[in-house]
Amino acid sequence: MERVEVAEIVRDVVEQLAPEEMPVVNGLVALDPAVASRRLAKAGARQDPLGFGLGDLVVMITPVVWVVLEHVAGRLSDKAVDGVAARLWKRFRRKTIPKAVELPLNAEQLGEVRRKALEAGARQGLTPELCAQIADAIIARLALGDAE
């Protein structure tokens, strides 16, 4: 198993799909992961700027990719623990944001990534085609691991 940082995967996917959003990604990566997640959640809920002095830059891809990868990192770490330890881990993890994804993922996990990306993109108001493109890019990047 190898661990790949969520931020590294976000950078790679956003750079491929929406390079104009890279200043936002770089700003988010510089923050504590919990702060970055809160800013993305607030920006997505109210369509507010992310607070990096970038004015009204439209950010569409970054929140979807970030949310999906945090979900994947969190879900996989939850599945790695069972019983009493799992309850303690989940309580502890609520206060922390996972920073890395454990690779490789199996077919079921990759299917979950795809579903989560399609759902997150739809919530963001993206077209089904763009949602599928984001999902495919995330899955391709996860399949590469640290090989890139």
Task: Decide: residue 8, CB within 10 A, 0-12 exposed, 13-18 middle, 19+ buried.
Answer: middle
Name the band, by pLDDT with cuts 50, 70 and 90, for residue 26. Answer: very high
User: Quick check: 10 pLDDT over 80?
Assistant: yes
Q: What's the confidence (pLDDT) of residue 84?
A: 53
Question: What confidence category does residue 94 fall into, taking pLDDT thresholds of 50, 70 and 90?
Answer: low
Indicate if the pLDDT at residue 98 is higher than 60: yes
Residue span of the structural domain in which 123 resides:
2-147
> How far apart are alpha carbons 63 and 104 in whole angstroms?
23
Sequential DSSP letters for the chain: -EEEEHHHHHHHHHHHH-GGGHHHHHHHHTS-HHHHHHHHHHHHHH----SSS-TT----HHHHHHHHHHHHHHHHHHHT--HHHHHHHHHHHTTS---EEEE---HHHHHHHHHHHHHHHHHTT--HHHHHHHHHHHHHHHHHGGG-
The per-residue pLDDT for range 41-86, each reduced to its tens digit, is: 776 554 544 554 444 456 889 999 999 999 888 876 545 445 555 5
pLDDT of residue 96: 61
Count up the domains in the chain and report the number: 1
* Whether residue 137 has pLDDT greater than 80: yes
Q: Which residue has the tokens 């661990």?
A: 3
- What is the structure's pLDDT at 54? 43
pLDDT at position 31 over 50: yes
> How confident is the prediction for the chain on average, in pLDDT?
81
Residue 56: predicted pLDDT: 47
With 80 as the cut, is the pLDDT of residue 107 above it? yes
Q: pLDDT confidence of 36, banded at 50, 70, 90?
A: confident
